[in-house]
Amino acid sequence: MANTKFSNVQFQVSTYQKQLTAIRALVHVSSNVIFRNKTISIPLGTAYAVWVGLGAAGAVLMGVMFFNEAYRLETNPLFLYVW
């Protein structure tokens, strides 16, 4: 049997990882519920455009706040238009 070297590897999942997974699942489900509720009152295309814009802004903010990505307003002021 080839590659049996890794057949008995067990992954340990910490409590922090379990909590983080639960938070991610909660955010995912709640965001889908909010999106579904908003598409009832506004057109789907408009809701999706706003959704994508908020997702892009959120990705930038998460990168800057949690992953120490460099961001300078002097070199990239386009992010100001989101606000």
Residue 31 lies in a domain: yes
Residue 7 lies in a domain: no
Residue 50 lies in a domain: yes
Domain extent, residue 53, equals 15-82
> Is the per-residue pLDDT at 69 higher than 60?
yes
Query: Number of folded domains in the chain?
Result: 1
Residue 59 lies in a domain: yes
Residue 8 lies in a domain: no
> Is the per-residue pLDDT at 76 higher than 90?
no
Residue 4 lies in a domain: no
pLDDT in tens, 15-46: 888 888 999 899 899 989 988 998 899 998 99
Place of tokens 């955010």: 27
Please name the amino acid found at residue 71: Y
Tell which phi-psi region holds residue 42, choosing left (phi > 0), alpha (psi between -120 and 50) or beta: beta
The structure's pTM equals 0.55
80's CB contacts (< 8 A; 6+ apart) are: 73
